[in-house]
């Protein structure tokens, strides 16, 4: 379906979101702290840095609220609160994880960083209702934790040492719940917007666009709040950091949605370049001369029976000085065809994008009915679905 991208990463500023995945990541993104129903849960090094910063920032407020308590105990209380903060982010992500698993979706991993959490889900929820429930599960867990905290504060004095920790964690979870419900991507509230627009229009990409623009608005409001609202320095810096995070995430998701919106009608056959078949021993300069005469812009190395064996690497040719080309064979600047580098001419849209992601290469052989019909250059595909990126690459080169 053209309106449902197969991989859109959901992220969370202090705890909001999910993404795509499959099995366990190839490279561990941090310290493995456990598994939940077989899903690995990681803490990245940034989470430790973030916890240390929070601990340091809490010393002053704790000293003001508990003036008669020794500094060593104040540090301990701050460390407990900072640990609880990170734990709240983990629990938030586990809310997404367990809801997704409940729907039979695959969860690759849960990772918590200092400013963001990721629950990598694959495939994405297939309906607006499931999208809504998976997105809402994270803030709901923080809301539940805040409710437990308020209940405890009815029996524990907030002016005592345990009360200070409970109060801070209660306010933290309430703030995480409210912040993540803000209606803009990549926050969970943005995912709720996506689900609502998707349900109303039957077009998930349209929902992502609306959610992304909502993210820009939320980022601006948070930045203004961080700059001008009275409060602690920590609160202002934190809001500015979250604002930047949201703005970058919204931009990335909007760009990804725009790419997917250009996919319908994009096929390997339509983008294939006219190709000159030559044997590998032919000098490169001669092959390029023949290609120009034929009006071809790609070269394929074939065997004596005409079977394609390799595809000339255009970037390797461009990097080769012209005076060396008569002394190099086509075979020397070509890449052997791997199974994933042979694409059917009818392959299009999401399937085409998935195919090139599966086997990254600069050129692919395009066939129709088993017969070679041309070469698809990756630069042509990028130019078709992401003109801005292609233009930047052209400027750099």
DSSP secondary structure letters along 339-376:
GGGEEETT-BHHHHHHHHHHS--SEEEEEETTEEEEEE
Cα angle for residues 194, 195, 199 (degrees, 5° grid): 115
Structure-token match 């999910």, residue found: 18
Rounded CA-CA distance 200/113 in Å is: 34
Structure tokens at 244: 């930047």
Using CA atoms, how far residue 140 sits from 41, 121, 167, 185, in Å, is: 19, 18, 19, 17
> Which domains does the chain possess?
31-261 (no CATH), 268-396 (3.10.580.10)
The answer to whether residue 149 scores a pLDDT higher than 50 is yes
Rounded CA-CA distance 64/1 in Å is: 58
Instruction: Give the single-character DSSP code of 187.
Output: S
201 pLDDT tier (thresholds 50, 70, 90)? very high
The answer to whether residue 5 scores a pLDDT higher than 90 is no
What pLDDT digit, counting tens, does each position of 253-274 carry? Answer: 998 888 888 888 899 999 999 9
What pLDDT digit, counting tens, does each position of 351-363 carry? Answer: 898 899 889 999 9
pLDDT for res 358: 87
Rounded CA-CA distance 283/312 in Å is: 12
Strands (E), the chain: 31-36, 39-43, 106-112, 117-122, 275-279, 298-302, 308-312, 334-336, 342-344, 363-368, 371-377
pLDDT for res 389: 65
């Amino acid at each position: 379906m053209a309106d449902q991208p197969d991989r859109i990463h959901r992220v969370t500023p202090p705890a909001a979101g999910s993404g795509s995945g499959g099995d366990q990541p190839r490279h561990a993104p941090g310290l493995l702290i456990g598994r939940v129903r077989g899903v690995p849960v990681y803490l990245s090094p940034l989470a430790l840095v973030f916890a240390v910063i929070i601990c340091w920032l809490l010393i002053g407020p704790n000293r003001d609220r508990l003036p008669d308590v020794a500094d060593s105990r104040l540090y301990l209380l701050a460390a407990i609160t900072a640990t609880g903060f990170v734990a709240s982010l983990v629990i938030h992500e586990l809310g997404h994880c367990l809801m997704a698993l409940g729907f039979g979706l695959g969860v690759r991993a849960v990772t918590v960083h200092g400013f963001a959490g990721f629950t990598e889900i694959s495939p994405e929820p297939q309906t607006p209702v499931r999208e809504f429930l998976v997105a809402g599960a994270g803030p709901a867990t923080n809301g539940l934790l805040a409710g437990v905290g308020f209940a405890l504060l009815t029996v524990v004095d907030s002016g005592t040492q345990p009360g200070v920790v409970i109060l801070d964690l209660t306010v933290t979870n309430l703030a995480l719940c409210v912040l993540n419900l803000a209606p803009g991507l990549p926050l969970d509230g943005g995912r709720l917007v996506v689900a609502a627009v998707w349900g109303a229009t039957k077009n998930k990409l349209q929902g992502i666009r609306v959610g992304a623009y909502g993210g820009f608005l939320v980022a601006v409001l948070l930045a203004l709040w961080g700059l001008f609202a009275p409060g602690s320095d920590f609160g202002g810096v934190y809001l500015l950091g979250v604002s930047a995070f949201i703005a970058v995430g919204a931009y990335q998701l909007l760009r990804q949605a725009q790419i997917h919106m250009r996919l319908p009608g994009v096929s390997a056959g339509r983008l294939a370049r006219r190709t000159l078949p030559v044997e590998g021993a032919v000098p490169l300069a001669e092959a390029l001369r023949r290609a120009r005469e034929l009006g071809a812009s790609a070269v394929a190395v074939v065997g004596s029976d005409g079977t394609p064996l390799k595809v000339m690497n255009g970037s390797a040719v461009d990097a080769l000085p012209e005076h060396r080309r008569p002394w190099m064979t086509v075979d020397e600047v070509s890449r052997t065809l791997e199974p994933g580098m042979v694409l059917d001419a009818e392959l299009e849209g999401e399937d085409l994008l998935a195919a090139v992601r599966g086997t990254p290469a600069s050129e692919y052989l395009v066939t129709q009915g088993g017969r070679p019909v041309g070469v698809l250059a990756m630069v042509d595909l990028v130019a078709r679905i992401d003109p801005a990126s292609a233009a930047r690459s052209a400027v750099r080169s």
